[in-house]
Amino acid sequence: MQDRKANSANSDTSEFSRMIDAALSRRQFIKGSMSAGIAGFFATNPLSQAMAAKSPKLNFEPVAATTADTITLPAGYQWDVVVRWGDPLFKDAPSFDPSGKATGTSQTLQFGDNTDGMSLFPLGENRAILAINNEYTNYDLLFHHGGKDLTKDDVLKAQHAHGVSVVEVEKQGGQWKPVVDSRFNRRIHVNSEMEMTGPAAGHRHLKTDADPTGKKVMGTFNNCANGETPWGTYLTCEENFHGYFGTESDHKETADELRYGVKTRNKHYNWHLHDARFDFAKNPNEPHRHGWVVEIDPMDPTSRPKKRTALGRFKHENAALYVNQDGHVVVYLGDDERGEHLYKFISKGKYNPNNQGANRNLLEEGTLYVARFSMNPGQLAGSGEWLELTHGKNGLTKANGFADQAEVLIFTRRAATQVGATTMDRPEWVAIHPSGKQVYCTLTNNKHRGVKEGQPVGGPNPRKANHYGQIVRWQPAKGDHTSHTFSWDLFVLAGNPVVHRDLYGGSNNIDADNMFNSPDGIGFDAAGTLWIQTDGNYSNEGDFIGMGNNQMLAANPETGEIKRFMVGPKGCEVTGLAFSPDMKSMFVGIQHPGEKSTGSHWPDGGNSKPRSTVIVISKQDGGLINS
């Protein structure tokens, strides 16, 4: 056991320790073989103690797990629909057609499908621009034929259901609704023109017959989570781009194609059947033009989105941006795949708060790093370092297969392996505490951990065949986000303490009342409460019994306390989070209710088709969220 006093950060620490001790004894956390290492980790970890300032209380009665086909909230809270898949954004848009026979053109005028990460850009007290990702689409809901008889227009409709929706929202009569035909409204999709920027722009690996410059690319898709900049732009992150490329030829994949999951046998979306751009045997460089972070100016509907190659190419989850004390812009980035990595970008230039126009290209140039964590067995805390991904350094040389910096960025995953990065349990969202002291990342699950070669059990990935997930957090050395070293611990190990009494039962802040699996979306509110959204197994059976549908929880980062705040409808994932500036409205995304024939009719009830939907949550008394 470490000496708590030796790690005391301030006078609140002893009070904090008393709270932890009380919490621990209340829960009587005693579990299996590694229990000593885990049971104490909140009480003794120096990171917790350094954070021990004012705790953000969780001021609501938690809700029970449920499999109900609705939104379940604590007493005193209410929810309302803001915008659903297929809702018109323009006055000439048709209304949603649930038959599955709507056209590709209609979908360009409507809100996209499968809502994900979002940011709110305020225009006034009761008006804002919502920039929001439409990650993908479910063919069994999109088409009357379920995708079996795909026509050219069907492919267009699917492509137009993807991308980003920019929509003005306004609070009218106490309810947030889209402003149809607002001059800000815009659909960005698979066929929208955008620009490649940064070190890889124009590289030979990015040139295609349609674009011999390697600088003009059409579209963005599988936009998962997001980020936003202090200069007012939206960052959308391209995640599972590989699944859209296919071929009918007997093409033998290259090692780089396989590393990114681009496979000849991909037959899920079948865009290549009607759009040769997605036949990667014919257009081997087209996949290189996807898997980036894209910067969008939501205030200017005519602006061209910019793909920022300096931030690397992988299956980007989100982009958590922080302006460091010295003005450098730091962006933390997860690559959501079993055994892939966690990254950090540091801008070359510095943020200028007095000249926002000068900040516009800060993400064009900088240095990318990848994380290596200490791996001491049985320890759920340790140290780590950021390894630089710059051509000519750390073995990133021509002899090792990297001709130049563009190749380091286009094949970022291979570069990360070359420098010895830690393989992670699927890094999803990263969130930075408002104080800037700590950074949190969800590691959603990983059935390959301890099973596949190169994915050893240990460090922040402590469980073999991890089907519950965890949240790791780290603290940059001296509070400087440009530092090359950090210390880390686990904030929570999700698990099921009813079924398991070992590490799979979860950490000491998990009990039968708040258990969940597969943390994914996370974000802090201004008061420092951590909100956790899940994308997990909603069978409510076996290892997942008692967890119910996917959900959203709130956590106190200082004490580790976690309470369930919301449960979503059947078959959904809860993903995407934004607050109004007055903290009275919380926007939450409900993605794919009713997927896999789970029988949802949410949000419209009756026999209606389930629809991906953005909701807004508020207090019935008009107070602040969590007040």
Residue 286 near which of Ca ion, ligand FEO, none (CB within 5-8 Å, type-dependent): none
* 154, 520, 561, 595: residue in contact with Ca ion (rule CB under 5 A): 520
- At 567, list the tokens: 């449960």
**Which H or E run includes 27?**
helix 13-27
Q: Which is nearer to ligand FEO, 246 or 589 (CB)?
A: 589
Choose one: 38-46, 192-200, 259-267, 569-577; the region binding Ca ion (CB under 5 A).
Answer: 569-577
317 binds ligand FEO (CB under 6 A): yes
**C-beta neighbour count of 51 within 10 angstroms:** 24
Nearer to ligand FEO, 256 or 317 (CB): 317
CB nearer to ligand FEO: give 162 or 171. 162
- Is 595 near ligand FEO (CB under 6 A)? no
Residue 148 beta carbon to Ca ion: minimum distance, rounded to whole angstroms? 23
The residue assigned the tokens 């896999």 is: 596
Smallest separation, CB 135 to ligand FEO (Å): 6
4: which 2 tokens? 């708590």
Using rule CB under 6 A, residue 407 touches ligand FEO:
no
Q: Which does 573 bind (CB under 5 to 8 A by kind): Ca ion, ligand FEO, none?
A: Ca ion
Which H or E element spans position 237? strand 234-238
Residues 130-159 close enough to bind ligand FEO by CB under 6 A: 135
Residues 615, 588 contacting (CB under 8 angstroms)? yes
Which listed option, Ca ion, ligand FEO, none, makes contact with residue 551 (CB within 5 to 8 Å by class)?
none
Q: Which residues contact 37 (CB under 8 A, 6 or more apart)?
A: 378, 379, 380
For 160, the token pair is 């137009």
User: How many of the other CB atoms lie within 10 Å of CB of 105?
Assistant: 13
Closest CB 429 distance from ligand FEO, rounded Å: 8
Contact present, 427 and 472 (Cβ < 8 Å): no
Contact status: 224 vs ligand FEO (CB under 6 A): yes
Binding of Ca ion at residue 535 (CB under 5 A)? yes
Q: Is the CB of 198 or the CB of 519 nearer to ligand FEO?
A: 519
Closest by alpha carbon to 271, among 250, 244, 240, 249?
244
Size of the site for ligand FEO (CB under 6 A): 6
Binding mask 421-450 for ligand FEO (x = CB under 6 A): -------x----------------------
Parallel, antiparallel, or unpaired: how do β-strands 328-335 and 427-432 relate? unpaired
- Which partner from the list Ca ion, ligand FEO, none does 113 bind, CB cut-off 5 to 8 Å by kind? none
Q: Which residue is nearest to Ca ion (CB)?
A: 535
Nearest to 96 by CA among 80, 114, 83: 83
* Residue with smaller CB distance to Ca ion, 137 or 266: 137
The secondary structure element, H or E, covering residue 405 is: helix 405-410
The helix (H) or strand (E) run that includes residue 359 is none
Is the Cβ of residue 52 or residue 555 nearer to Ca ion in the bound state? 555
Instruction: Please give the Cα distance from 259 to 418 (Å, whole number).
Output: 13
Tally the C-alpha atoms within 13 A of residue 59's C-alpha that lie toward its C-beta: 12
**Contact between 238 and ligand FEO per CB under 6 A:** no
Subset of 52-81 contacting ligand FEO (CB under 6 A): none
Q: Which of 228, 239, 335, 558 binds ligand FEO (CB under 6 A)?
A: 239
- Minimum distance from residue 221 beta carbon to ligand FEO (Å): 12
239 versus 279: smaller Cβ distance to Ca ion? 239
Select the binding partner of residue 239 from Ca ion, ligand FEO, none (C-beta < 5 to 8 A, by kind).
ligand FEO
User: How does DSSP assign 61-91, residue by residue?
Assistant: PPPPP---SS-B--TTEEEEEEEETT-BSST
In the bound state with Ca ion, the residue whose beta carbon lies nearer, of 106 and 550, is: 550
Whichever of 229 and 444 has its CB closer to Ca ion, that residue is: 444
Q: How many CB atoms lie within 10 A of CB 441?
A: 29
| Closest to 104 in 3D by CA, of 282, 271, 238 | 271
Which pairs from 208-211 meet CB under 8 Å and 24+ separation?
208/277, 208/283, 208/285, 208/286, 208/289, 209/283, 210/277
Output the CA–CA distances (angstroms, integers) from residue 237 to 102, 227, 421, 448, in the order listed.
Answer: 28, 8, 21, 24
Comparison of 259 and 426: residue with beta carbon closer to Ca ion? 426
Position among 286, 407, 573, 595 found at the interface with Ca ion (CB under 5 A): 573
Coil, helix or strand at residue 474:
strand
Judged by beta carbon, residue 239 or residue 257, the one nearer ligand FEO is: 239
Q: Which two tokens stand for residue 602?
A: 């949410």
**Residue 425 interface partner, choices ligand FEO, Ca ion, none, CB cut-off 5-8 Å depending on type:** none
**Span 329-368, contacts to ligand FEO by CB under 6 A:** 336
**Residue 407 touching Ca ion (CB under 5 A):** no
Q: Report in angstroms how near the CB of residue 336 gets to Ca ion at its nearest.
A: 6
Hunting for tokens 């140039």 — which residue is that? 365
Give Cα 87 distance to the centre of its chain.
Answer: 24
Please count the residues of the chain: 627
* Rounded Cα–Cα distance for residues 191 and 155 (Å): 11
295 binds, among ligand FEO, Ca ion, none (CB under 5 to 8 A by kind): none
Binding to ligand FEO by CB under 6 A, coded x per residue (else -) over 263-302, reads ----------------------------------------
Q: Please say which residue, 63 or 424, places its beta carbon nearer to ligand FEO.
A: 424
Instruction: Tell me how far CA of residue 11 lies from CA of 14, 17, 44, 244, in angstroms.
Output: 7, 11, 16, 55
Residue 321 or 387 having the CB closest to Ca ion: 321
Could you identify the residue written with the tokens 């320890």? 379
Q: Which parts of this chain interact with Ca ion (CB under 5 A)? A: 428, 444, 520, 535, 573
Q: Which parts of this chain interact with ligand FEO (CB under 6 A)? A: 135, 224, 239, 317, 336, 428
